[in-house]
Amino acid sequence: MSIGPDGTADVDFSRCPVRDVLDHLGDKWTSLIVLMLAEGPQRFSALQRAVPDISKRMLTQSLRSLERDGMLSRHVYPTKPPSVEYRLTDLGRRFHAELQRLVAWAEANHAEIRAARLRHDGLGPDAALDLAEAV
Amino acid sequence: MSIGPDGTADVDFSRCPVRDVLDHLGDKWTSLIVLMLAEGPQRFSALQRAVPDISKRMLTQSLRSLERDGMLSRHVYPTKPPSVEYRLTDLGRRFHAELQRLVAWAEANHAEIRAARLRHDGLGPDAALDLAEAV
DNA sequence: CTGCATCCCGCCTGATACTG
DNA sequence: CAGTATCAGGCGGGATGCAG
C-alpha cells in the first residue's frame, strides 16, 4: 500500500501485504478468536462457547483463514468423539501483540471518537453535552 | 472487547470501542484515504485520482465515515466551481501513526504469511519452494 | 464433537444519471 | 467540481441438515 511518485496509490490488493493483515482485523470474528487463543489453546466447541454469537459456519471459516495465514495451528486428537485444538503460532502471537496495541489505542481514544460522532450526527437531544464534557 | 470470568467474550459491538477502529481498518478504502491525507490536505477530485478504483459514491461514503469519527475535517471553499478540501485532524494523525505501525508489521511479516499460505493451499507446483526459502 | 454442503435473504457496492 | 438519487447484481453470512 505505497504511494507512487505520480500521486496514485498502489491498490494491487491481490499482492498487497497490508491487505492480508487488515482483512483479519476488519473481520468481525478473527480478532476475537485470536484474543481468545492468546489465553491458551482452545477446542472448537470452547471457542464457540466463548464467542456466543458466532455460527459454526463462520467459526470454521475464520479458523481456516487464520490457519491458512499461519496465525494458528490445528491439532486433531483422534479420540472418539474426536476433539480438535487450536493454538496460536509464533506469528499468531506476534499478531496478537499488535492487536493488543490497537485495542489499547481504541480504548484510549474511544471518548474522543464518540464525542465527534455525537457532534456530527446532529447532537442527540442532551446526551451530547454529557459526552462532550467527558473528553 | 474484554473476556469475562466465565470465559465468554464481550461481544456488544454496538458500544465496542475497538469496533469503531477496526471497522475503519477493515474497510477497503478508509485506510488508503488516511494514508493519502497524511501527506497533506487533499481535494475530493485529488483523492479520487489518487485512489483510481474508488467510485465517487464510496469515496464520499468513506470520507463521511471518517469525518463522523473525527478523523478528518471538511472545508468548503465557496468558489465557483466549488472546491472541498479534506485534512486529517489530530485524532486522524494519531490514527495514521497506528496505521503506519500496522503497515510496517504487515510488510515485515508478509513473507511468512505468504509462505504459510502456499503450504496450506496445497503447495502450488514449484513456487512454494521459492517463497519457503525467502522466509 | 467437528465440520462441510445447501439454501436463501439482506446489504454492500458499482454503474449510471442528475443537481447545485 | 462535488456530490446525491436510483437501480440492479453479487456476495457475505445465518439457518439448517447431514457426515466422519
Q: Is B91 on the interface with A (CB under 8 A)?
A: yes
Q: What is the pLDDT of residues B59-99, one digit of tens each?
A: 999 999 999 999 999 999 999 889 999 999 999 999 999 99
- The per-residue pLDDT for A13 is 60
CB-based contacts of B39-45 (< 8 A; 24+ apart in sequence): B39/A3, B40/B87, B41/B75, B41/B85, B41/B86, B41/B87, B42/B85, B42/B86, B42/B87, B43/B83, B43/B84, B43/B85, B43/B86, B44/B83, B44/B84, B44/B86
Q: Give B6's pLDDT tier (boundaries 50, 70, 90).
A: low
User: Does residue A15 surpass a pLDDT of 90?
Assistant: no
CA count, 13 A, side-chain hemisphere, B93? 7
Q: Is B79 left (phi over 0), alpha (psi -120 to 50) or beta?
A: beta
| Per-residue model confidence as pLDDT tens digits over B16-31 | 788 899 999 999 999 9
- pLDDT digit string (tens) for A102-112? 999 999 999 99
Lowest mean pLDDT among A91-95, B4-8, B40-44, B59-63: B4-8
Gap from A56 CA to C7 C1', in Å?
Answer: 16
If you average pLDDT over residues B105-123, what whole number do you get? 89
**The pLDDT value given to residue A16:** 77
Opening angle at CA A118, ends A112 and A120, nearest 5: 100
Give me the half-sphere count of Cα atoms (radius 13 Å) on the Cβ side of residue A115.
12
Specify burial of residue B58 (Cβ count, 10 A radius: 0-12, 13-18, 19+): middle
Provide the 3-class DSSP secondary structure of residue B74.
strand
Q: Output the pTM of the full model.
A: 0.85
pLDDT digit string (tens) for A33-66?
Answer: 999 999 999 999 999 999 988 999 999 999 999 9
The Cα A117–Cα B66 span in angstroms is 10
A131 compared with A25, residue with greater pLDDT:
A25
> Whose CA is nearest the C1' atom of nucleotide D4?
B57
Residue B12: predicted pLDDT? 58
What pLDDT does A1 receive? Answer: 55
Say whether residue B133 is in contact with chain A using an 8 A CB cutoff.
Answer: no
Strand partners, B85: B43, B75
Q: Are A18 and B50 an interchain contact pair (Cβ–Cβ within 8 Å)?
A: no
The pLDDT, as a whole number, for residue A103 is 94
Segment A15-36 mean pLDDT: 90
Q: Three-class SS of residue B50?
A: helix
Q: Which of B32, B69, B117 sits opposite A9 (nearest CB)?
A: B32
Q: How far is the CA of A1 from the C1' of D15 (A)?
A: 38
> Is strand C in 7 Å reach of the CB of B58?
yes
